[in-house]
Amino acid sequence: MQSIDDQDLGTPAAKSEQLVTLEIDGREVTVAAGTSIMRAAALADVQIPRLCATEALAPFGSCRLCIVQIEGRNGFPASCTTPVDAGLKVRTRGERLEGLRRNVMELYMSDHPLDPFQCKAGGKCELHQMAAAVGLEQMRYPAGHNHLDLPVDDSNPYFAFDPTRCILCSRCVRACDEVQGTFALTIDGRGFSSLMSPGQHQHYADSECVSCGACVQACPTDALMEKSLLERGMAERAVITTCGYCGVGCSFKAELRGDRIVRMVPNRNGLPNHGHSCVKGRFAWGYATHPDRALKPMIRKRISDPWTEVSWPEAIDYAASEFKRVQKQHGRGAVGGITSSRCTNEEAYLVQKLVRAAFGNNNVDTCARVCHSPTGYGLKTAFGTPAGTQDFDSVNASDVLVVIGANPTEGHPVFASIMKRRIREGARLMVIDPRAIELIRMPHVEADYHLQLQPGTNVAVLNALAHVAVTEGLANERFVGERCEPAEYAAWKKFIVEQRNSPEAVERMTGVPAEKIRGAARLYARGPNSAIYYGLGVTEHSQGSTAVLAMANLAMVTGNLGRPGVGVNPLRGQNNVQGANDVGSFPHELTGYRHISDPKLRAEFEAAWGAKLDPEPGLRIPNMFDAALDGSFRGLYVEGEDVAQSDPNTHHVTAALSAMEIVVVQDIFLNETAKYAHVFLPGSSFLEKDGTFTNAERRISRVRKVMEPLAGYEDWQVTCLLSNALGYPMEYSHPSEIMDEIARLTPTFSGVSYEKLDRLGSVQWPCNAEAPEGTTVMHVGQFVRGKGRMLVTEYIPTDERTSARYPLILTTGRILTQYNVGTQTRRTRNVLWHLEDRLEIHPHDAEQRGIREGGWVELTSRAGATTLRAQLTDRVPAGVVYTTFHHPESGANVVTTENSDWATNCPEYKVTAVQVMPTRRIPERPTAEQIIRAAEQQIGK
């Protein structure tokens, strides 16, 4: 079912700019050429009955309700599939038409439960709406064959399929094909026996379905319904907000009945997602009201003590007094804070403001440190701004898509669907990844090239691609001549053409056949519009920043920047990792990526904030831990991040946390880090507050409060309380005032306001006087920094190398149904799809070690050891093992090391030398049945 307040014009908008005028029911209507008669009529407020048509899908022409008459043409054409033509005279009403429609509707109802009160979709059922619209009043057919005794398929955790309510309109099948691109559904059988079926006579749960929810949203009746709607009742109102999971930042409508949320449904007008969603944003929101939510402030003197529930003032006062005590005893720089990429821009801004103004130092960092900090360094160095160059819709103009170190179908599923659609339209695909990700081959999508490189050799492969582009005469010399620093280009060119950067020279080291690199380079360079999309497989390396620079070089030398369809684009992991960075979360930068050492800038902030600012950069997260073990760093305010689970080398992190005197954790759950905390401040989920998130395409979208914060305060209010207690007053009555302050202090945000966001839906920064409605594509005409910089990107192998003791390389990734360390998704029915993390190992490596499918193995690195179950697969090449890290007991970060990116200290999560051996020491972990039972208990099934 569509969202309760969606307006649907029946068929998608036409792209033509040419206008056509026709007559509909005597009214003159002017629309774009290619528009359907149905849409043209709807635009003129003439509603033509329909069931199989929706503007979210290409027209289909099956329901036959939308027939019209056209002067001079025979018969009764369907208005959804008939395009307008100049001068047409269309009639949508009349006894003949209405009689036929009524008769067709009567046929529908002859195989449908007749009692409208039984309809679970209530007044929102399009079938019943249409039955009323066409004036169906009687059922003349005697009882006959029907499908009214078919069983309901409720195998999916989130929705049920009731075939007795299905009208075979194929909207679900088409949504799965056109929108999601999974092709999991079909119409099975012929004629009267036709039935919608996932796979071949499968249950939903056993099929290829990825539970994106597109089919459920597309269904016009109560055949496909969210279980939450069935359980909680139909919505009465909807609030537009932004998803709190990944960096795609899908716009959603939270539908409510009273004050209770009944479902999340993607917003059709949302620009990142255009009405599409994934299983996480669409369904996995139950964690917000999960019984595990910690709703009371708590304190304790020592981390070995039990928690004591206290009042808000007591907790805040205790935290503030402890920070003050530590600073008094150990110096101003002995404390710091971590802003959250999961919280809003306004909240991240306040935390860094608290650190800089109330703590009086710059020891503030954010979890971008451990994911995309090399993106910040690399893209800022090369282009002048540390953000993706395009909007998502840019893909629709791409001819070649390059995916490097990212797994969009698992990590950024909604964007993956946009990519897949473009590929189905004919764009070519190149994947650079050690692992055979799903995108390499799936229905109607196949990569032209999969450069299956050894983990850690990204820079060598990227250099070789650029080498081919330059040496084979495919460089865009005009672009480089006009747009890039000439001296640096000359030096880079001299470097890149060297034989050691040739595909042949790097073939052995990278494991990628030279011919493949050459072919891929030609494909990319010839484009004409080639776009790079990348993820943490690029950044989380010792040469993460170098790899980002190398991608920038490749794009510049081939001229793939500054227009739709091209660019270099990070796929951001967290909903607001871009935003948290934008608003000054890095220790060396104030808002808008401006260095703290700039006296003029500091003066501006000092005046605005009424506080003295430290001119020196502060500690980054890993430095904080090092300093803690050193004794010079003893207090930490962590908002919405679980460093104990998500940061590398867990032993090191927990030792550092244990060494601190005051750790304040502000979170919605008692996470792993809270085990080392002295004060716990209950946080609020994205449903409980107002604010903004900024997604991977620099798009600032509103987060709107759907329900009151369960613990009493929104996170920004908690930060204000703490700051006030520290003696630095923060007075805001609404997050809009915080955004106004950011806008005043930040040139790239100067045009941003809640009023504008409400009006436009969202804006992409830079948004200022020059670009009042924001900027979709950056670096048009010239780079933000003026001339683009092409730095030499020598490949330097990581120190983390295999040895006789650690002969395999471990790399990590994600799975669709889970999110990061699983804090949220493990507290939803999503856990039913991913009961544990497993270690993927190539059958060859497994056989050598006597490892069997599903057998327990010990995974050992120089840093530590953990135990997992093995999964034998050739998705990974021999010599490489892989795991996800969604469950804390998997302890993937117990084995990861402290190696980090040279420029930003971003940890080298993606390369760890390990050994894997079968083990008889089976850890005490719950069995699958126990996990399922526990999960079902948790989700209240």
Segment 353 to 382, residues that bind other proteins, using CB under 8 A: 362-363
Binding flag, residue 164, other proteins (CB under 8 A): no
Binding flag, residue 807, other proteins (CB under 8 A): no
Q: Which two tokens stand for residue 96?
A: 């003949």
Choice between 100 and 230, CB closer to other proteins: 100
- Which of 798, 911, 811, 806 has its CA nearest to residue 460? 798
Site for other proteins in 663-682 (CB under 8 A): none
Distance CA 467, CA 554 (A): 9
Choice between 141 and 737, CB closer to other proteins: 141
Distance CA 264, CA 215 (A): 14
Distance CA 73, CA 89 (A): 10
- Positive/negative CA dihedral, 428, 434, 439, 442: positive
Site for other proteins in 737-756 (CB under 8 A): none
User: Least CB distance from residue 492 to other proteins, whole Å?
Assistant: 8
Binding flag, residue 794, other proteins (CB under 8 A): yes
Binding flag, residue 16, other proteins (CB under 8 A): no
State the pairing for strand pair 445-446/594-595: unpaired
Choice between 97 and 707, CB closer to other proteins: 97
Yes or no: say if 683 and 699 are a contact pair by the CB < 8 Å rule.
Answer: no
Number of Cβ within 10 Å of residue 745's Cβ equals 22
For other proteins, the binding residue among 86, 192, 729, 850 (CB under 8 A) is 192
Judged by DSSP in three states, 681 sits in strand
Choice between 167 and 319, CB closer to other proteins: 167
Tell me the H-state helices in 36-150.
37-43, 95-109, 126-133
* Close Cβ partners of 903 (under 8 Å, ≥ 6 residues apart): 374, 377, 378, 544, 545, 546
Binding flag, residue 630, other proteins (CB under 8 A): yes
Site for other proteins in 588-607 (CB under 8 A): 588, 595, 597
Yes or no: say if 425 and 441 are a contact pair by the CB < 8 Å rule.
Answer: no
Choice between 78 and 668, CB closer to other proteins: 78
For other proteins, the binding residue among 30, 155, 186, 658 (CB under 8 A) is 186
Q: Which listed range, 13-21, 598-606, 898-906, 911-919, lies at the site for other proteins (CB under 8 A)?
A: 898-906
Choice between 363 and 764, CB closer to other proteins: 363
CA distances from 565 to 16, 323, 402, 555 (A): 19, 50, 12, 12
User: Least CB distance from residue 51 to other proteins, whole Å?
Assistant: 8
Q: Which listed range, 80-88, 225-233, 307-315, 742-750, lies at the site for other proteins (CB under 8 A)?
A: 80-88
Choice between 381 and 645, CB closer to other proteins: 381
For other proteins, the binding residue among 53, 57, 63, 638 (CB under 8 A) is 63
Binding flag, residue 626, other proteins (CB under 8 A): yes
Number of Cβ within 10 Å of residue 166's Cβ equals 22
Yes or no: say if 29 and 48 are a contact pair by the CB < 8 Å rule.
Answer: no
State residue 255 phi and psi, 5-degree precision: -95, 135
Q: Which listed range, 62-70, 129-137, 449-457, 570-578, lies at the site for other proteins (CB under 8 A)?
A: 62-70
Yes or no: say if 570 and 534 are a contact pair by the CB < 8 Å rule.
Answer: yes
User: Least CB distance from residue 936 to other proteins, whole Å?
Assistant: 37
Binding flag, residue 619, other proteins (CB under 8 A): yes
Helix (H) or strand (E) holding 32: strand 27-32
Choice between 597 and 848, CB closer to other proteins: 597
CB-hemisphere CA count at 13 Å for 925?
A: 20
* Close Cβ partners of 490 (under 8 Å, ≥ 6 residues apart): none
For other proteins, the binding residue among 609, 754, 833, 902 (CB under 8 A) is 902
Choice between 62 and 671, CB closer to other proteins: 62
For other proteins, the binding residue among 33, 187, 514, 931 (CB under 8 A) is 187
Site for other proteins in 204-243 (CB under 8 A): none
For other proteins, the binding residue among 288, 440, 525, 903 (CB under 8 A) is 903
Distance CA 283, CA 833 (A): 13
Helix (H) or strand (E) holding 353: helix 345-353
User: Least CB distance from residue 61 to other proteins, whole Å?
Assistant: 4
State the pairing for strand pair 428-432/449-451: parallel
Site for other proteins in 109-138 (CB under 8 A): 110-111
For other proteins, the binding residue among 197, 775, 793, 830 (CB under 8 A) is 793
Binding flag, residue 71, other proteins (CB under 8 A): no
- For the purposes of burial, counting CB atoms within 10 Å of the CB of 873, is it exposed (0-12), middle (13-18) or buried (19 or more)? middle
Distance CA 239, CA 259 (A): 11
What binding mask, one character per residue, do residues 520-559 give for other proteins by CB under 8 A, x or -? ----------------------x--xx-------------
Choice between 79 and 389, CB closer to other proteins: 79
For other proteins, the binding residue among 45, 137, 151, 190 (CB under 8 A) is 190
Distance CA 54, CA 789 (A): 48
Binding flag, residue 498, other proteins (CB under 8 A): no
Place of tokens 């450069």: 451
Q: What is the DSSP letter of 150?
A: P
Give the rounded distance of the alpha carbon of 620 from its chain centre.
25
For other proteins, the binding residue among 205, 509, 629, 670 (CB under 8 A) is 629
Q: Which two tokens stand for residue 736?
A: 């809009």
Binding flag, residue 86, other proteins (CB under 8 A): no
User: Least CB distance from residue 190 to other proteins, whole Å?
Assistant: 6
* Close Cβ partners of 852 (under 8 Å, ≥ 6 residues apart): 846, 870, 872, 918
Residues 799, 585, 745: CA angle, nearest 5 degrees: 140
For other proteins, the binding residue among 115, 118, 145, 473 (CB under 8 A) is 145
Distance CA 532, CA 555 (A): 8
Choice between 239 and 792, CB closer to other proteins: 792
Number of Cβ within 10 Å of residue 575's Cβ equals 31
User: Least CB distance from residue 112 to other proteins, whole Å?
Assistant: 10
For other proteins, the binding residue among 26, 72, 75, 473 (CB under 8 A) is 75
Q: Which two tokens stand for residue 519?
A: 């072919």
For other proteins, the binding residue among 76, 312, 754, 833 (CB under 8 A) is 76
User: Least CB distance from residue 4 to other proteins, whole Å?
Assistant: 26
Binding flag, residue 768, other proteins (CB under 8 A): no
State residue 763 phi and psi, 5-degree precision: -140, 150
User: Least CB distance from residue 146 to other proteins, whole Å?
Assistant: 9
Contacts with other proteins by CB under 8 A: the residue count is 72
